[in-house]
Structure 1
Amino acid sequence: MLPARTPLASALLFAMVSPIAAHATPDDAGDGGQRKATQLDGVDVHASQVESVSNKFTAPLLDTPKSVSVIPQSVIEQTAAVTLLDALRTVPGITFGAGEGGNPTGDRPFIRGFDSQSDIYVDGIRDAGSQTREVFAIEQIEVIKGPSSAYSGRGSAGGHISLVSKTAKLDDFVAGSIGLGTDNYRRATVDANAVIGDGIAARLNLMKHDADIAGRDEVNNSRWGIAPSIAWGLNGPTQASISHYHMETDDLPDAGGFAYNNPFSSGANLGKNGDGSPIVPNRNAFYGLVDRDFQQTRADITTLNLSHDFGGATLRNIARYGRTRNDYLWTQPDDSKGNPNLYGTVWRRTNARATTTDSLVNQTSLSGTLATGTLQHSYNAGIEYSDEDTQRGSYAIGTVNGLNGTFNPVTGSQSCPTTGAATGYNCTDLANPTPHDPWAAGHHVTRTDPALDIRQKTRTRSAYLFDTVEFNPQWMLNLGARFDDYATRQSNPVTAVTLRNDSTFWNGQAGLVFKPLRNGSIYLSWGTSSTPVGMDGGDGADGISAAVQDLTPQRSRNLELGTKWDLADGRLSLTGAVFATEMSNARVTSDAGTTQNAGRKKVTGAEIGFSGTIAAGWQVFGGYTYLDAVVEDNGFALVDGVYAPSPFNGNAFPNTARHSASLWSTWTPAFAPGLSLGAGANYVDKVYGNVANTKWIPAYTRFDAMVAYEFSKQYGLQLNVQNLTDKTYFTKAYASHYAAIAPGRSATLAFNFKF
């Protein structure tokens, strides 16, 4: 039970008083949830940018009984976000996890405490494979919170993320941006759309990006992308479109960050332990090797979208084929042998991966409205088939004089009492690392034999149905159900072992909505999720193994009470919710030493959100989230040869901030036409890296600023300063060894154009 004055209680109070506040301002009464255009920094924000585009939501967001945050393109542009993780920083309740060798380096958001790396979708279809995603071809980003397998299928214990692509439309325009900045920042984007026939249009998005990382020696990013699309029948009932997305990256990655300050769990060296936070002798220190470390990714995704409007019902079929590749070898500053505290050195532990994922998905749906007596229905029914094939290999490091990238001969173990050539340059100084050591002169990196790669194939067949039943203008019921037939196989040519899991599972969504006024709603909802074994396709944190292959899916359920209000004639949106999410059969070690579905995790929390116009020329976007995430039953652990209840029972979730808040605000003063001023702040509480709660990264507050000036409707300049105070903070806490540091202060100046 939470104390009466917690944010949870405050949010519940907010839910109760909002209708009164709304009723006190009759001019704020909306138009049944349909948003009107508003002005944000000279960019029209229409309903399509603040409403979800998912046809699985059978009511406007105002009347959808679920917490959904929509990041519009205007906020992405104003904050100068260039990656998915940049954009997600504006949504509280999301933290980010790190990767290494077993769990891949790539986008790894945690939503309400649960890993969502495999829960990212593009236009309603799962975006398989580990990636680092860009925003150059993205119209908006939708974050659906709480267990949501009814909407998305397997996983989604904490929610899922849906990216909305830029596609061809009946309009002629050319827009783009050319940017320069500190740390060798160079970026150019073009977004061109043209009507090329009767109901026919084509669109092309291009991007080239190169930059170093502010405050980090040696590290850099380089990528380019192209996303063409063409559509037919945009002015008629039958429409078709085909699109392709291609992006390549070639980075010197900074995944490793800094080692933790507490490697010892027992023995004579306990007195040398620190407090568990990262050791930062110099925030510019880079512990990798410039002539060895790399990360190269590639994504090619083609989508065919067909639809026909019969008048009251629309039949749609979406088919997609995608191939993604994620290859890397990078340095993890490992603390597992206590080198930083014992010797002031760091072991350069290598993490390597070579992964290719092919996916084929087909989704057919029928959506529309109908009446049964006095009841009005808005429905969506569909079937989906998907095949995913992941091939995972690695990179081998050659040996010279018995030395390679994972062994230090000085002690015959993975510790570093010294550095330099005697260790094969596998160890470096903690305070003054040497990233230009001549490592490659004696070591050779080669791709392992693809014939020996681990292969995992996953097939899913699904059917779903959603219906919003309107009893009268004040009451409606939202219902949804999904059935999944799931099968995965993993084969290892080296061991000749095949692992498999076959599961079928149902998930549901139900919510009762009360509308005291046309522009507001109060809802009570329930939803579930299922996380089967191996759902990540062998390319994430939820892999299959001999110990778990026969287990049933982990089940999560969520109960949520919330409210949503559109005020100021639809120009300002306010939301609030309190919720409780429980995973009742988490996979843990039993008292017999086997893995069983016997654990329990629980998250109780509250959130508020706001988006839109407070007053003429003043726009805001942001919110606050409180999460009390507890591992209630972590199973058993082996202690002195006997299995006893886990000592971690009652600990906080890893990768979860108890408090988080974000605010982005822009002001366009009436006395200075064309001028826009923006400022933002992000607060994230302390985050633990492990379930033992012994390794952690501290809380931080980051500030950003923006100044923009439009010379005309066609041209403008925009200056962004990120991390305004040059705050040293960490964004990711890995379970062992290291934490990932954030970039320092940087500034970019962009010339924006639109015709």
Structure 2
Amino acid sequence: MNHSSVCQPLSLRQSASYFTATATATPLQRSSLAMSVSAAMLLMPLAALAQSTASSPDGTQVRELGEVIVLGKRVESNPNAEVGSPYKARTSGDARHTRPLAETPSTITVLTKTAIDDAGVTDLKQILAAQAGITLGTGENGNAFGDRYIIRGQEARSDVFVDGLRDPGMSTRESFAVEQLEIAKGPNSSFAGRGTAGGAINAITKQATLDHDFTRVSAGLGTDSQKRFTTDFNKGFGENFALRVNALYGDEHVPDRKPAARERKGVAISGLYEVNKDLSVTLDYYGLRTHDTAPDLGAYLAGALPNRVPATDVPVYAQSSDFLKSDVDTVTARINWKLAPNLRLTSLTRYGTSNNGYVTTGASSGTRYNGVTGVGYTTGAIDAGHSGWQEVDYFAHQSNLRFDTTLAGLKNEFIVGVEYTDHKVVSGNYALTNSAAANCRSSNATTAPTGPNNAYCFITPNGTAVTDLANLAGRSATRLGKNQDWRVKTVAVTAMDTVDLSERLSAFGGVRADRFDLDLVRINNSTNVVSGAYGYKDTLVNGHFGLTYKLAKDLITYASASTAQDINGGEADAGTSSGYGGAVLYQNQIAGAKPETSTNLELGTKWNLLDQQLLATAALFQTTKKDVMEGANYDTIGTFNTGKNRVRGFELGLSGDATDKLSLQAGAAVMKSKVLASATATNIGNPLSNFADKSYSLQAKYQLTDAFSVGAIHRYESSRCGGQPDTGAGYTNGTCAQPVPSFNVSDLFAAYRFNKKLDVRVNVLNAFNKDYYTAVYRSGSFLYKGDARSVRVTLNYEM
């Protein structure tokens, strides 16, 4: 039996294709599927072979077999999975991709649930950070709410989608209800709308199915007081209704950073009603509660250029009142309707809310002073804190009509779509009060290093370490009123076609027009007086065009061009902070700028190997972003359409089964970025901020026996330089002012299957306990630290 598969009866809906696949294999080409059947039959209970004997009319003894149950691989609940290859997805969960992934003219990395489970990490930030071509920025705790992703050098924190609909919550995200995770690389506005300059992330969720019933329970324990419990239950009721319930509870201390801790609780409920074979309706609810106590901002940069490096032996300096919380609730209705043999409607409607809040503490290293004597010493000191709250309320509807037809002898797959979204975000911050006495003094150019203490240092002026660092400042937080009310309403129309021009040549073309209406109100949350009201409307038009040529049966090459556009003030969490995607103002007005436009040119190839069990991809690309709006820090004033940057590179990918025993998920990206134009002359020629030139990851699992498998994950990310989004990295005299060192990190895992229902998996994360860092704040006052070594043991049981 291959992989960590579960032996169980096949569903009636899947048994036919199962036996067809098995029967067509030649004796010399026994597929992994056929081998699974052979092994399963050897393990079949004797009771399943019970026989009875009867006589035929002519008196011949006829042996009558009882019910025979074939025990094969676990039937996957993911309809997009490649049968027999657990690390490979065959199709996208987005119905607008009408062809298999191996025939789609763009780079789309797909992580299956099996690959995610084997890796042993659960937050989307951890999962995505391990992928080639993606780096992290400081999100929660810094200059943005929620997790902050950077794809091919471009901001993507607002470009996260769930089942094809934008998820504007900008919160901490979890994978317990995810069936597969799709990362589309390159400008993607023809599919995703505004933004998506570097790509988009689309989480495909677990849906109820009538194919088969199952109950799966997982319980995990580990170092750092880690606990994680999940259930995945699917049950059909009669021929028309199915219910699926996923639930999660988990908590842990951040490895080697106690008292910093993370807690996750969630539930996802999906109900399917199949009216008839042509019409089905699904109603989903998703709820997630995340709570990080004493959220850890890691280390900070110390020293002066050119010797600026991560500080060592930094204790957990989060204050006891610090927190990071996110509450998410969404309801989604789906309709799948086959109106005619060649006409299908898919429709999604979603309403959701998200409530996010954080209070965190940063720190920096340098010379501080005894406030009485003026004697200086080197120590770390906490900053004044970072805070924010956010209430998100959104509605979205998307309908796509697919029409397959033949025109002029050519096969066409037309899609016409409409979308309406209404995203509202109200946000504010907290008043932070320090009740403890300061224990040291900072100095600046206008203040002498003597006098009353005004800072909070890890080491007191008499040279002793602070014993109760979590209460150093005696800090408390009080929520203030709103200081911003942001709203964007959008109506979009999409038209796409995939056409076979010949037996080998196919073309894809898609255009999308988005008409948006942006309103932004800024409020003084001390006086409740409106300090500014801004708004404007515009229409964005984008396209995606590609040609694929079939070199051989399972080998294609392709060329594609795609565009994306973003708007002034399009980042809901940035307000009028022009340096972070907020609105750039001129004469107290937001309008007057062309949209930022990104264009991607790509040449690639995809090869479905080993009877379509392994997909190899390669792509050479260039993305150019022009008309970039530039701002400074958190200022409202900036410049319109003065920036331009470029990213060139190539990516390689591998997913699926290399042999019956070896599964792979791998990727590599080698890229160069460059600022081509800027209102700030010193930025020109610099690389983009938070940009890693090289990155790769490899996840491999080997099936030593039918029951025992081992695996490893290795990832590498080259050094990068911090700074603001969409601009040159911060360099001083040719040296990076806020450097993040390169790193290599390895994980190990192993699994053992006791029987068809029970297996155990052990994960050793950061197996060699490397100190590594994933992102830096623009001032260097915090430097996200990767988790230290941890061990996780997970018991999986299927009823």
TM range (shorter): 0.7 to 0.9
Instruction: Specify the alignment match of 1:537 in structure 2.
Output: 572
Listed one character per residue, the Cα deviations across residues 220-262 of structure 1 (whole Å, up to 9, x for unaligned) are 0012001111010176211101101101112125452222225
Question: What is the CA distance between 1:277 and its match in structure 2?
Answer: 2.7
Take 2:302 and 2:775, find their aligned partners in 1: how far apart are those partners?
A: 16
Question: What is the CA distance between 1:101 and its match in structure 2?
Answer: 6.2
Alignment of 1:334-345 (within 5 A): 334=364, 343-345=378-380
Question: What is the CA distance between 1:566 and its match in structure 2?
Answer: 0.3
**Is the contact made by 2:466 and 2:472 (CA closer than 8 Å) also made in structure 1?**
no
Note if 1:198 corresponds to 2:233: no
Instruction: Specify the alignment match of 1:682 in structure 2.
Output: 715
Note if 1:696 corresponds to 2:724: no
Cα 1:518–1:414 shift into 2, 3 Å: farther
Cα 1:589–1:139 shift into 2, 3 Å: closer
Take 1:292 and 1:418, find their aligned partners in 2: how far apart are those partners?
A: 30
Cα 1:663–1:711 shift into 2, 3 Å: same
Alignment of 1:726-741 (within 5 A): 726-737=769-780, 738-741=782-785
Instruction: Specify the alignment match of 1:387 in structure 2.
Output: 422
Q: Secondary structure at the match of 1:226?
A: strand
Unaligned runs of at least 5 residues, structure 1: 1-26, 263-271, 637-645
Take 1:543 and 1:329, find their aligned partners in 2: how far apart are those partners?
A: 21
Q: Secondary structure at the match of 2:384?
A: strand
Note if 1:525 corresponds to 2:560: yes
Alignment of 1:251-330 (within 5 A): 251-262=292-303, 272-273=304-305, 275-280=307-312, 282=313, 285-289=315-319, 291-310=320-339, 311-330=341-360
Question: What is the CA distance between 1:536 and its match in structure 2?
Answer: 2.1
Note if 1:616 corresponds to 2:660: yes
Take 1:623 and 1:237, find their aligned partners in 2: how far apart are those partners?
A: 39
Question: What is the CA distance between 1:599 and its match in structure 2?
Answer: 1.4
Deviates more, 1:80-89 or 1:188-197: 80-89
Note if 1:550 corresponds to 2:592: yes
One-letter identity of the residue aligned with 1:662: S
Identity of aligned residues (%): 27
Instruction: Specify the alignment match of 1:71 in structure 2.
Output: 111
Cα 1:199–1:408 shift into 2, 3 Å: farther
Note if 1:718 corresponds to 2:758: no
Cα 1:42–1:350 shift into 2, 3 Å: farther
Instruction: Specify the alignment match of 1:350 in structure 2.
Output: 385
One-letter identity of the residue aligned with 1:659: K
Instruction: Specify the alignment match of 1:607 in structure 2.
Output: 651
Take 1:199 and 1:353, find their aligned partners in 2: how far apart are those partners?
A: 46
Q: Secondary structure at the match of 1:286?
A: coil
Q: Secondary structure at the match of 2:381?
A: strand
Note if 1:159 corresponds to 2:191: no
Take 1:336 and 1:127, find their aligned partners in 2: how far apart are those partners?
A: 41
Cα 1:611–1:413 shift into 2, 3 Å: same
Listed one character per residue, the Cα deviations across residues 598-645 of structure 1 (whole Å, up to 9, x for unaligned) are 211000000110011112211111111011011122223xxxxxxxxx
Cα 1:433–1:223 shift into 2, 3 Å: farther
Listed one character per residue, the Cα deviations across residues 25-47 of structure 1 (whole Å, up to 9, x for unaligned) are xx9xx9xxxx99998x9666676
Take 2:509 and 2:775, find their aligned partners in 1: how far apart are those partners?
A: 37
Cα 1:199–1:298 shift into 2, 3 Å: same
Instruction: Specify the alignment match of 2:14 in structure 1.
Output: none
Q: Secondary structure at the match of 1:493?
A: strand
- Rg: which structure is higher? 2
Question: What is the CA distance between 1:100 and its match in structure 2?
Answer: 5.8
Note if 1:169 corresponds to 2:217: no
1:98 to 138, 142, 148: 138
Take 1:328 and 1:417, find their aligned partners in 2: how far apart are those partners?
A: 33
Take 1:550 and 1:504, find their aligned partners in 2: how far apart are those partners?
A: 14
Alignment of 1:608-647 (within 5 A): 608-636=652-680, 646-647=681-682
Q: Secondary structure at the match of 2:383?
A: strand
**Is the contact made by 2:190 and 2:542 (CA closer than 8 Å) also made in structure 1?**
yes
**Is the contact made by 1:657 and 1:685 (CA closer than 8 Å) also made in structure 2?**
yes
Cα 1:650–1:335 shift into 2, 3 Å: farther
**Is the contact made by 1:89 and 1:682 (CA closer than 8 Å) also made in structure 2?**
no
**Is the contact made by 1:530 and 1:556 (CA closer than 8 Å) also made in structure 2?**
yes
Take 2:620 and 2:353, find their aligned partners in 1: how far apart are those partners?
A: 39
Question: What is the CA distance between 1:316 and its match in structure 2?
Answer: 2.2
Listed one character per residue, the Cα deviations across residues 4-55 of structure 1 (whole Å, up to 9, x for unaligned) are xxxxxxxxxxxxxxxxxxxxxxx9xx9xxxx99998x966667612021111
Listed one character per residue, the Cα deviations across residues 127-175 of structure 1 (whole Å, up to 9, x for unaligned) are 0122110000000000000001001000000000000000100121001
Take 1:91 and 1:431, find their aligned partners in 2: how far apart are those partners?
A: 43
Instruction: Specify the alignment match of 1:446 in structure 2.
Output: 478
Take 1:318 and 1:205, find their aligned partners in 2: how far apart are those partners?
A: 20
2:399 to 359, 364, 381: 364
Instruction: Specify the alignment match of 1:59 in structure 2.
Output: 99
Deviates more, 1:338-347 or 1:188-197: 338-347
Q: Secondary structure at the match of 2:689?
A: coil
Listed one character per residue, the Cα deviations across residues 283-322 of structure 1 (whole Å, up to 9, x for unaligned) are 5x11221x21111110001101122101211112211001
Instruction: Specify the alignment match of 1:461 in structure 2.
Output: 491
Unaligned runs of at least 5 residues, structure 2: 1-25, 37-71, 82-88, 371-375, 525-529, 724-728, 731-735
Question: What is the CA distance between 1:410 and its match in structure 2?
Answer: 6.5
**Is the contact made by 2:774 and 2:785 (CA closer than 8 Å) also made in structure 1?**
yes
**Is the contact made by 2:434 and 2:473 (CA closer than 8 Å) also made in structure 1?**
no
**Is the contact made by 1:345 and 1:418 (CA closer than 8 Å) also made in structure 2?**
no
1:509 to 522, 537, 544: 544
One-letter identity of the residue aligned with 2:251: D
Take 1:323 and 1:660, find their aligned partners in 2: how far apart are those partners?
A: 35
**Is the contact made by 2:669 and 2:695 (CA closer than 8 Å) also made in structure 1?**
yes
Take 2:430 and 2:759, find their aligned partners in 1: how far apart are those partners?
A: 47
Question: What is the CA distance between 1:731 and its match in structure 2?
Answer: 1.1
Take 2:250 and 2:353, find their aligned partners in 1: how far apart are those partners?
A: 22
**Is the contact made by 1:722 and 1:747 (CA closer than 8 Å) also made in structure 2?**
yes
Question: What is the CA distance between 1:217 and its match in structure 2?
Answer: 3.1
How does the TM-score come out when normalised to structure 2? 0.81
Cα 1:295–1:431 shift into 2, 3 Å: farther
Q: Secondary structure at the match of 1:156?
A: coil
**Is the contact made by 2:584 and 2:638 (CA closer than 8 Å) also made in structure 1?**
no
Instruction: Specify the alignment match of 1:15 in structure 2.
Output: none
Deviates more, 1:215-224 or 1:123-132: 215-224
One-letter identity of the residue aligned with 2:114: S
One-letter identity of the residue aligned with 1:329: V
Cα 1:72–1:476 shift into 2, 3 Å: same
Question: What is the CA distance between 1:518 and its match in structure 2?
Answer: 2.1
Question: What is the CA distance between 1:192 and its match in structure 2?
Answer: 0.2
Question: What is the CA distance between 1:714 and its match in structure 2?
Answer: 0.5
Q: Secondary structure at the match of 1:630?
A: strand
**Is the contact made by 2:355 and 2:390 (CA closer than 8 Å) also made in structure 1?**
yes
Question: What is the CA distance between 1:125 and its match in structure 2?
Answer: 0.1
Note if 1:567 corresponds to 2:609: yes
Take 1:552 and 1:57, find their aligned partners in 2: how far apart are those partners?
A: 30
**Is the contact made by 2:365 and 2:380 (CA closer than 8 Å) also made in structure 1?**
no
Q: Secondary structure at the match of 1:496?
A: strand
Take 1:607 and 1:517, find their aligned partners in 2: how far apart are those partners?
A: 22
Question: What is the CA distance between 1:436 and its match in structure 2?
Answer: 4.0
Cα 1:288–1:719 shift into 2, 3 Å: same
Q: Secondary structure at the match of 1:88?
A: helix
**Is the contact made by 2:709 and 2:750 (CA closer than 8 Å) also made in structure 1?**
yes
**Is the contact made by 2:661 and 2:702 (CA closer than 8 Å) also made in structure 1?**
yes
Q: CA RMSD in A?
A: 3.0
Take 2:257 and 2:495, find their aligned partners in 1: how far apart are those partners?
A: 50
